[in-house]
A = this chain, B = another copy of it.
Amino acid sequence: MKAEIITIGDELLRGEIVDSNKARIAERLLLLDLECRHQVSVLDDPADMRDAFRRAADRSDFVLVSGGLGPTRDDLTTEVLAETFGRKTVLDEKSLAVIEAFFARVGREMSDVNRKQAFFPTDADVLPNPIGTAPGFSIREGRAVFFAMPGVPRELDLMMDEQVLPRIERLLVFSEATVGATVGGSRAAPVGAPVERAERQVVRAVLLRTFGMGESTLEAELLDLAREGDVDLGFRTSFPDNFLRPVARAKTAEEADARIAQVTKAIRTRLGAIVYGEGDETMESVVGRLLAERGLSVATAESCTGGLIAERMTDVPGSSAYFLGGIVAYSNAAKVALLGVSEALLESEGAVSEPVVRAMAEGARARFGSDFGVATSGISGPDGGTKEKPVGLVWIALATAKGTHAESFVFQVDRSRHRSLSAQVALDWIRRSLLGVELVGPSLLRRGGGGSAPGGS
């Protein structure tokens, strides 16, 4: 079974935007064990589009098309797809009513061009778009099933998840008909009609997010698990994290569920607190959940991270329940006036020093009356380093009722990565403290050479 992705739009071929739709579609197809064999992008040009559609119909079983469903004259996907395969376009009254209702709801006037979006090729299966004006559709053409979807990422995501993937899954699972019967079959054949699949397997995948161990160390630690036949273990760096993606295949859903649960457990047992989350969880959402569960609160005192820790914590809805506030103490005067760091200490030790970062974390905890106070002070660069305190040096401190933990690192990465890595260590320390595990990040990070290594060539 081969899948192909076609994205349409002049802006893609001019390099005006980076086309992330392809990656998001491909990632989802993988969950159905569907290999994406070709990815093609074409201009809003009927000849090029036609050529791409014909070729895809010849070589692929599932063709995922994104873009060109909008109301403007440049949006040609529906017309060209219909015309390529000798179909007409017909008005779908139900879709028209939905589009009219959409405009009424958002209080905007519906223009005539939007009517165009209620037209579909004959015998198409309409795919609703609850969050936009462009419905998608699906048509079967010979061996191939085409899915036309909007190019707006969040609309595309929702349509993939709610409409397209379930349809593909149905097509893959039911195998009453043979491929022979569907190839060259009637155009009127419903899109939901079954396609045979020789060795149908059920696939389950999990994304495990890790922080604190370099990619090569991770691979070495999990080598035996990665080599088991029915499980693929993927590794991916997403600075400053490393992601693991075990994919299990089995004959039944029960077997696949059991296998993925087993592998996930084995990885978690092996790595311990290095695994901080699963799926969509972020470090800040995990920290937030743990704080909320325990009824504890946090405040920040940031120098080199400049508000990044606070910004990430408050990015989580409901964070006001546990995030009391923070101080971005960029100047020494602010460290003195707002965090109560002593002037003498700043004078004798410098702003990037253990006693100052401790005083900052404790000052934040005291000023905000929070359970945790976390602080950073470092030299993110590109300038400002000295021999004793090089660019890349950062002191991080976590103050709790039991005392304050502080440690220094030298992260030899650029300014933006330095800030992001420092913030991640600070958040990870709150998490580790809440879980009652050692704040071991430092030694692991050091061993890994300045944090999870960025991706290879």
A contacts, CB < 8 Å to B = 11-20, 22-30, 35-43, 48, 69-72, 75, 132-134, 150-152, 155, 234, 236, 245, 300, 302, 305-311, 313-315, 317-320, 323-331, 333-334, 337-338, 367-369, 381-383, 415-416, 419, 454-457
Contact across chains for A325 and B330 when beta carbons are under 8 A apart = yes
Contact across chains for B324 and A326 when beta carbons are under 8 A apart = no
Set of chain B residues within 8 Å of A24, measured between Cβ atoms: 15
Set of chain B residues within 8 Å of A313, measured between Cβ atoms: 306
Residue in A22, A24, A28 with the greatest tally of chain B CB atoms within 10 Å? A22
Contact across chains for B12 and A457 when beta carbons are under 8 A apart = no
This chain's copy number in the assembly: 2
Contact across chains for A331 and B327 when beta carbons are under 8 A apart = no
Which B residue's beta carbon lies closest to that of A68? B457
Contact across chains for A155 and B457 when beta carbons are under 8 A apart = yes
Contact across chains for B325 and A314 when beta carbons are under 8 A apart = no
Considering the chains assembled together, what is the distance between the CA atoms of A397 and B11 in angstroms?
37
Contact across chains for B37 and A48 when beta carbons are under 8 A apart = yes
Contact across chains for B328 and A325 when beta carbons are under 8 A apart = yes
With A23-B18, A317-B415, A327-B328 as given contacts, are A38 and B41 in contact (CB-CB < 8 Å)?
Answer: yes
Contact across chains for A15 and B23 when beta carbons are under 8 A apart = yes
Contact across chains for B11 and A16 when beta carbons are under 8 A apart = no
Could you tell me the distance in whole angstroms from the C-beta of A74 to the nearest C-beta in chain B? Answer: 10
Q: Which of B42, B323, B324, B327 is in CB contact (< 8 Å) with A325?
A: B327
Considering the chains assembled together, what is the distance between the CA atoms of A314 and B376 in angstroms?
14
Considering the chains assembled together, what is the distance between the CA atoms of A320 and B309 in angstroms?
18
Which B residue's beta carbon lies closest to that of A40? B40
With A134-B457, A338-B325 as given contacts, are A14 and B27 in contact (CB-CB < 8 Å)?
Answer: yes
Which B residue's beta carbon lies closest to that of A416? B315
Could you list 15 A-B pairs, sorted by A, with CB under 8 Å? A12-B39, A13-B35, A16-B27, A18-B22, A19-B19, A134-B457, A305-B311, A314-B328, A320-B330, A323-B330, A325-B330, A326-B330, A327-B338, A333-B369, A338-B367
Could you tell me the distance in whole angstroms from the C-beta of A124 to the nearest C-beta in chain B? Answer: 18
